[in-house]
Structure 1
Amino acid sequence: MKQEIISRVIQGDRDAFRSLYDEYFDYAMRTAMLVTKHGERAKDAVQETFLRVYRNIWQYDSSKPFKPWLYCILLRECYRVMEREKKVVPLAGELELERVGVEPKLPDTSLDVYDALQSLPDMYRIPLILKYLHDYSEKEIAETLELNVNTLKSRLLKGREKMRDRLGGEPHGSKA
């Protein structure tokens, strides 16, 4: 079904692109919120991602799953938006605007986990998001992030350790 929609998008069918957009928008927005930690930046990254997908869909290799290809573009856009924002100097006394847009829908019991995850450096946070929230395989994550699989495994391990420390957990296998 997706391959049929993608073929129609390649041929210029805007309705097919709209259905692809509708199918992946929520996924992309939640992911962008987790990566950028900011509503407006996430919106910018998602908008630019779908523009790039539309313009470059002909480069998509239909022998591979679509979602990792989309995710790779989304991550690059999130990084680009975050880099651009680092260069912006805030005005003195400027109040931080309230977040506008889509907030991740998490149950109240997950707020500590969400805060702990958001406090991690990107090099640990993003692999954890891909592995445990999006169920990507380690090989898919390594390809998406352009990392060696062993480097990825190390980052996942350190990321889990940092999460455990932030949540006040005990090292695996320890006895109380």
Structure 2
Amino acid sequence: MIKGWDHEELTVLLDRAYQGDDVAFGTLYRRVSPMARRAAHNIVRDTHAADDLVQETFYLVLRAVRSGRGPRDSFTGYVLATVKHLAYRYSKSESRIVTNDDPDMWERHTDPVQPPAQAERATAAWASLPPRWRSILWLVEVDRYSPAELAAGMSLTPNAVSSLASRARQALRTAYLAID
């Protein structure tokens, strides 16, 4: 149970969410997401991955609620069980991923026509991203995989992969523009 909330308040909000009230679901999200984020972070130990898992969790829960098969009694318990399941599945899949942080490899793949100052800015912006964001950008933008092709291997839905790639692109853009 969420501190300061009684069972009736949660039930009313959940009933309203089942009736299509997005504001009620948003209220549930704001109240429960910090708990879900802590639970995910305790498992994956990566803030960005935990945030992605919480987003994926609430997407799945909202989809379940809209289809009439989501939680009926314990919204918080349902969300926490879902985020933990996704976090363990993510941790299992991450243990099989091999990363390459070899700077020479990145240099071979940069555009030699780019002016040096821009190349340095791009490299610094790229290096500032978390490994998961660099990986998704490389897979989507360079290797040209679709979110649907990547979803199963990342233990995410295609929509979540697309959302992850979008957030990574925005972070790269922000980092690039922030470098003087």
Normalising by structure 2, we get a TM-score of: 0.48
Largest Rg, 1 or 2: 2
Normalising by structure 1, we get a TM-score of: 0.49
Which one has a larger percent helix, Structure 1 or Structure 2? Answer: 2
